[in-house]
Every structure is written in C-alpha cells, then in structure tokens.
C-alpha cells in the first residue's frame, strides 16, 4: 500500500497540513487541506508527482472536520465525480458549518466568556468557515469505529480517537502498525482539546481531555511503529511522545489548579492568567484549554465547580478552602 504524504499550506498559525494519498485501488485521499487557491495547487502538484489523477479519487476520508483538514472535501468530491466522503458522525457541528451555534454560545457563557468576546469569536469563526464547504448529510458516509477501509492489497482499520474533536479518527495499517492520526498526534506540540458540545447531548460539554487520554492509550495499545500526524513530521517513537504528552498534560493541570483561587474563578479568568495577552482566535483556544483542564481536575476531585445564577461556572480550589 503506497501512502504518500502531501504537504498543503494553510493560512493558520499551525502552518501546513499533511494530507495522505493512498495510491491504490480504490484511490483514497485522507484529509484535503483548506479551501484556498494555494492549497488546491499544492494538492494538484502532489497528485502530479504521485502520477495519480484527482478524477480517479474514489474515497475522501477526513480525520476530523476542521477547516484545514476538510476544506476541499466537497470540491474534490465534485471533481472526482464518484468519490465518496467519509467522516465520523460525531463531527456534526464542524462538518455542516452550523457548529450548533446556540449550544456553542451556551458553553462559552458557562465558561465565563464576556458577550463582546463571544461576538468576536463568532465573527472569526464565520471567517474561518469560508475555508471549507459544508457537507450535508447525504453528501458523506459515516466512519465507523473498528471498521475497515479496504484496498486491493490490504486495509486501514478505523480507530475512533476523540479528544481534539469528538469525531477525530485515526487509521491503522495493521500489517506494519503504521497509523495516520490527524491532529490526535503532533510531533512538536500537544494538540488542543477544542471546546465542543457533547455529540450525544449537545447541552453538555464534551469531556475532551479525559477522552483524549483514552485515545492516546488506545493508540499506544496498537504499538505503532510510525505515526503520521496532521501537521509536522511523522513520529517514529510513539512511546516517547506518549510519555511526553502525559507529562505535559499533568504539568499543565498543576498550573491550572494553582490558578484557581479559593474565592472562585471562571474558566475565562483562568485562561487569561494561563495565556496573558493572547490575541484573537487564540483566546478561543486558550479558553478551550482551560476548560479541558478544569474538567479533568474536577473529574479527579481536585477542584470544585458550581453553576452560578448568572449561568457561569465558578471553580474553587478545595485545597485552599
Ligand atoms: Zn484540528
Ligand atoms: Zn489540524
């Protein structure tokens, strides 16, 4: 099975995204890059070098539905005529571009984000949506955990690895324990658990970090020899990365707990202390990170949380009470 990485530029801070062309029957593209002129040109060049035609693509598989990974899915599907798009059912909000606006707003209010900041986040999000076409229900098929994507000479097993987003998936070639992991595994940075509604009950918050820790352990149980991430170089020593991530998460958790005063603070307050002076879109990622760590600390009984009359959650440091 020929897996060919194609590096595609993005306008995002994270830099280029890695797409993976499986040049085998049926020709399959895993992740597409954002909907920009630069991205489609880089993709076309990658296909040319691999001597594969975009019109021969039969499957477009998405590790998750962030714009840098899914942006071109619809236009490539149209160009390739019979191609089908596959994405996990839990990527609902991102996939259709409606991002469950009310649910999202409710999560931000609960996290203590001020109204003007929520409006600014919404405007930025609307801008980002221009970098991806929405996929309606009839335009994709659901990826099912533990199913196989079959090829003429082998298969990729679908492993649902929620955390970064609820519907993030990885793909494992069992013959040599190679994994394509999207943003679940990034060599140089610990991926952000992005604030999302729970896909089962959107009035609740998705427990991103707890789920992410399970996903990391699940990948570890596969003893991967090579992990292709969504950005940056491939990971050859997953064990080292796993331990490094765990240390970084524990270290961040300690930091977050220290920032929770006994008189109480919202996730927004904690995010401001954790990342002072962050601008624009990073404020959403900052509050996502704070919420994820506060949720994990709360689930481990290290801090208390209560919902105030104003709809905001207030965290209290129990050790200081
Ligand atoms: Zn992502
Ligand atoms: Zn990404």
Q: How confident is the model at residue 128 (pLDDT cuts 50, 70, 90)?
A: confident
Residue found by looking up tokens 């533990």 in the block = 146
Residue 310 alpha carbon to ligand 2 centre in Å? 34
Tokens standing for residue 26? 């049926």
Q: Which of 186, 183, 185, 156 is nearest to 172 (CA)?
A: 156
Strands 28-30 and 59-61: parallel
- Ligand closest to 285 (CA) is 1
* pLDDT band at residue 30 using 50, 70 and 90 as cut-offs: very high
Q: Ligand 2 centroid to 66 CA: how many Å?
A: 7
Q: How far is the CA of 161 from the centre of ligand 2 (A)?
A: 14
Which residues are close to ligand 1, an ion, with C-beta < 5 A?
66, 183
Per-residue confidence band for 126, with pLDDT thresholds at 50, 70 and 90: confident
Distance 191 CA to ligand 2 centre (A): 9
Name the pLDDT band for 278 (thresholds 50, 70, 90): confident
Q: How confident is the model at residue 93 (pLDDT cuts 50, 70, 90)?
A: low
Cβ neighbours, 10 Å, residue 182 = 29
pLDDT, the chain, mean: 92
Q: Answer whether residue 90 shows pLDDT above 80.
A: yes
Helix residue spans in 97-190 (DSSP H): 101-110, 115-129
Angle between helices 115-129 and 280-299 (to 10 degrees): 110
321 pLDDT more than 50: no
| 134 closest CA partner among 35, 20, 31 | 35
**What tens digit of pLDDT does each residue of 159-186 get?**
999 999 999 999 999 999 999 999 999 9
Does 189 have pLDDT greater than 90? no
Distance of CA 68 from the midpoint of ligand 1 (Å): 7
- pLDDT value at position 135? 82
Which residues fall within 8 angstroms of residue 4, CB to CB, at 6 or more apart?
20, 21, 22, 23, 46, 50
Residue 69 Cα to ligand 1 midpoint, Å, equals 7
- How far, in Å, CA of 255 to CA of 95, rounded? 34
Pick the residue with more confidence: 240 or 124?
240
> Over the stretch 194-224, which tens digit does the pLDDT of each residue have?
898 898 888 889 999 999 999 999 999 999 9
């Amino acid at each position: 099975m020929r897996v060919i990485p194609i590096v595609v530029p993005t306008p995002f801070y994270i830099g280029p995204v890695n797409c993976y062309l499986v040049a085998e029957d049926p020709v399959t593209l895993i992740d597409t890059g954002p909907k920009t002129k630069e991205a489609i040109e880089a993709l076309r060049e990658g296909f040319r070098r691999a001597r594969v035609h975009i019109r021969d693509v039969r499957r477009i598989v998405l590790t998750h539905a962030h714009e840098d990974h899914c942006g071109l899915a619809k236009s490539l599907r149209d160009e390739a005529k019979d191609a089908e798009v596959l994405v996990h059912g839990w990527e609902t909000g991102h996939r259709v571009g409606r991002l469950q606006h009310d649910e999202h707003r409710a999560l931000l209010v609960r996290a203590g984000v001020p109204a003007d900041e929520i409006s600014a986040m919404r405007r930025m999000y609307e801008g980002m949506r221009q970098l991806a076409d929405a996929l309606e229900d009839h335009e994709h098929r659901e990826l099912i955990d533990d199913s196989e994507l079959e090829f003429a000479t082998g298969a990729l097993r679908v492993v649902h690895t929620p955390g970064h987003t609820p519907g993030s998936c990885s793909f494992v070639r069992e013959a040599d324990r190679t994994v394509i992991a999207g943003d679940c595994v990034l060599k140089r940075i610990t991926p952000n658990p992005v604030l999302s509604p729970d896909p089962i009950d959107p009035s609740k918050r998705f427990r991103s970090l707890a789920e992410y820790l399970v996903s990391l352990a699940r990948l570890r149980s596969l003893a991967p020899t090579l992990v292709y991430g969504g950005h940056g170089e491939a990971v050859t020593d997953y064990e080292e990365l796993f331990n490094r991530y765990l240390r970084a998460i524990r270290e961040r958790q300690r930091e977050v707990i220290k920032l929770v005063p006994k008189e109480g603070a919202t996730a927004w307050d904690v995010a401001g202390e954790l990342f002072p002076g962050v601008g624009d879109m990073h404020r959403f990622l900052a509050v996502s990170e704070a919420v994820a760590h506060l949720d994990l600390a709360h689930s481990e009984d290290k801090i208390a949380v209560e919902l105030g009359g104003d709809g905001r959650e207030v965290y209290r440091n129990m050790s200081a009470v």
